[in-house]
């Protein structure tokens, strides 16, 4: 039976081909989209890899970052060091100002202004004031009730040259006769130089400048208490005594010879000893040089004290020394902390043996009424010494010291190369004559082998 449906007959081959063609077309339409996606992903990956970089570029970037980090750390460390140094030195300066403020100051209007970088002169006065002494020291040396007032046991002029880093110390014996100048109304026209200090340092400065022409820029006063305190704070000084020594007046009592540590009252007694005795060959010998011998012992003590101070770096020792300064030490009000610190910095490395010590040349004329045994400045030797030390700093003396005839001639003109004879006087007949010589005995500073000298402990 015939049917009207196509399912029963053979299929049309074109229909199958048409289906395949449709699938191919659909595949072609889809494939570009996938390819484009793959290409997009590939491009994105490449861009990402480019962003990350190659291994070489990544290593270079790490090195650059590491260098920047190290640089920042170094800068931070340097900033920290600077801050710490500023804090340390700032704190140190504040502390020094505090200690400096504790030191007693005294107005000395007669001093001369210092010139930056130029040599300057410090008048160091060792006062015999007992103020501040307590306990055994007061019992040994006496109290202010036992010994009233003050006199200058020591008069030294320290000539300090910052350019050459040289220190020269000129000592003036306490019994040296001077023109009293501003004190004439109270102590007479002439008197011992040590009597001048009883009225204070300002008049002492005037007398030294008026008599010797030495410009004084600063003043340091040390009494018994200040001397002992500063010496003890540094741990004492080392001195070699060739023989056992004693002085019944100062209290010195060295029982055994040799290099030994001297401190406390024995340090003071050593520096003050004018009636020095030493034991040799079975009996006690007397040093008859009096004030000259004491000056020599003071010079030795000062050099040993400088050695002791140079060797101290312990902050506790330095603090103890700074703490001892206000006790019995006075400075002139113009002496600034900057100057003191500069002095310490510039001369910290100075060799104590290079410190030159001199004594004003004097001569004795025996007992001179009403003063007793006194000394007169020996010219032209004194002027030669002053010119060699102070040079053109010297001023013309307003009231020169008296000679043994109690006259006050101007000192001879002396240069560094030529020594002039004393200026002659003119008689009433207008004839130039030389005054008759006065019978005098020249006193020279001895160099005895029995005195103590600085030493180093073994």
Q: Where are the domains of the chain?
A: 65-102, 103-419+438-454
pLDDT at 410: 87
Q: Write out the DSSP string of 257-312.
A: -EEEEE-HHHHHHHHH-SS-EEEETTEEEE-TTTHHHHHHHHHHHHHHHHHHHHT-
What does CATH list as the number for 103-419+438-454? Answer: 3.40.630.190
pTM exceeds cut of 0.85: no
Encode the chain (458 residues) as per-residue pLDDT tens digits. 444 444 445 555 555 555 556 556 655 555 555 555 555 555 555 555 455 555 556 566 666 667 777 777 778 777 777 776 666 556 666 777 777 788 889 999 999 999 888 999 999 998 765 555 555 555 555 544 544 445 567 899 999 999 888 999 999 999 999 999 888 888 899 999 988 877 788 999 999 999 999 999 999 988 888 888 888 888 899 999 999 999 999 999 999 999 999 998 899 999 989 999 999 999 999 999 988 999 999 999 989 988 888 777 666 666 666 666 667 788 999 998 888 888 877 777 788 888 999 999 999 988 899 999 999 999 999 999 999 999 999 999 999 999 999 999 888 887 654 333 333 333 333 333 333 344 444 444 444 589 999 999 87
User: What is the Cα–Cα distance from 270 to 294, expressed in whole angstroms?
Assistant: 8
pLDDT at 129: 57
User: What is the Cα–Cα distance from 172 to 194, expressed in whole angstroms?
Assistant: 9
**Sheet with 258-262, side-by-side order of all strands:** 258-262, 237-241, 453-454
The 8-class DSSP code of residue 196 comes to G
pLDDT at 449: 82
pLDDT at 306: 86
Which residues share a beta bridge with 260?
A: 239
Task: State the angle between helix axes of 264-272 and 291-310 in degrees (0 to 180), rounded to the nearest 10.
Answer: 140
User: What is the Cα–Cα distance from 358 to 340, expressed in whole angstroms?
Assistant: 24
Per DSSP bridges, beta strands 177-179 and 166-171 are unpaired
């Amino acid at each position: 039976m015939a049917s009207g449906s196509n399912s029963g007959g053979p299929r049309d081959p074109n229909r199958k081909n048409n289906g395949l063609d449709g699938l191919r077309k659909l595949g072609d339409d889809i494939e570009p989209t996938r390819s484009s996606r793959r290409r997009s992903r590939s491009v994105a990956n490449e861009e990402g890899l480019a962003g990350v970089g190659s291994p070489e570029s990544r290593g270079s970037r790490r090195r650059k970052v590491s260098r920047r980090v190290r640089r920042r750390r170094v800068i931070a460390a340097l900033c920290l060091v600077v801050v710490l140094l500023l804090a340390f030195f700032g704190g140190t300066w504040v502390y020094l100002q505090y200690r400096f403020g504790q030191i007693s100051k005294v107005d000395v209007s007669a001093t001369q202004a210092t010139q930056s970088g130029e040599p300057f002169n410090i008048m160091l006065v060792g006062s015999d004031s007992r103020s501040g002494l307590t306990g055994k020291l007061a019992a040994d040396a006496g109290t202010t009730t036992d010994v009233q007032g003050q006199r200058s046991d020591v008069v030294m002029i320290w000539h300090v040259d910052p350019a050459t880093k040289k220190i020269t110390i000129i000592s003036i014996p306490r019994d040296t006769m001077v023109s009293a100048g501003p004190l004439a109304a109270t102590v007479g026209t002439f008197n011992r130089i040590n009597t001048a200090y009883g009225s204070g340092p300002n008049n002492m400065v005037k007398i030294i400048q008026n008599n010797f022409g030495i410009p004084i820029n600063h003043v340091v006063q040390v009494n018994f208490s200040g001397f002992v305190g500063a010496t003890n704070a540094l741990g004492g000084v080392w001195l070699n005594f060739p023989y056992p020594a004693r002085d019944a007046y100062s209290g010195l009592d060295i029982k055994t010879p040799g290099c030994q540590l001297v401190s406390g009252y024995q340090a003071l007694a050593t520096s003050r000893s004018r009636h020095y005795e030493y034991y040799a060959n079975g009996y006690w010998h007397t040093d008859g040089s009096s004030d000259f011998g004491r000056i020599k012992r003071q010079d030795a003590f000062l050099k040993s004290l400088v050695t002791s101070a140079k060797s101290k770096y312990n902050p506790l020792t330095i603090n103890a020394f700074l703490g001892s300064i206000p006790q019995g030490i006075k400075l002139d009000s113009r002496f600034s902390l900057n100057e003191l610190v500069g002095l310490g910095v510039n001369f910290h490395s100075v060799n104590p043996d290079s410190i030159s010590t001199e004594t004003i040349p004097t001569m004795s004329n025996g007992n001179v009424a009403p003063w007793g045994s006194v000394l007169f400045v020996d010219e032209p030797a004194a002027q030669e010494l002053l010119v060699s030390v102070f040079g053109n700093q010297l001023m013309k003396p307003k009231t020169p010291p008296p000679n043994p005839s109690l006259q006050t001639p101007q000192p001879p003109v002396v240069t560094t190369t030529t020594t002039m004879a004393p200026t002659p006087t003119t008689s009433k007949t207008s004839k130039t004559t030389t005054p008759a010589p006065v019978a005098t005995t020249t006193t020279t500073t001895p160099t005895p082998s029995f005195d103590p000298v600085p030493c180093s402990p073994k």
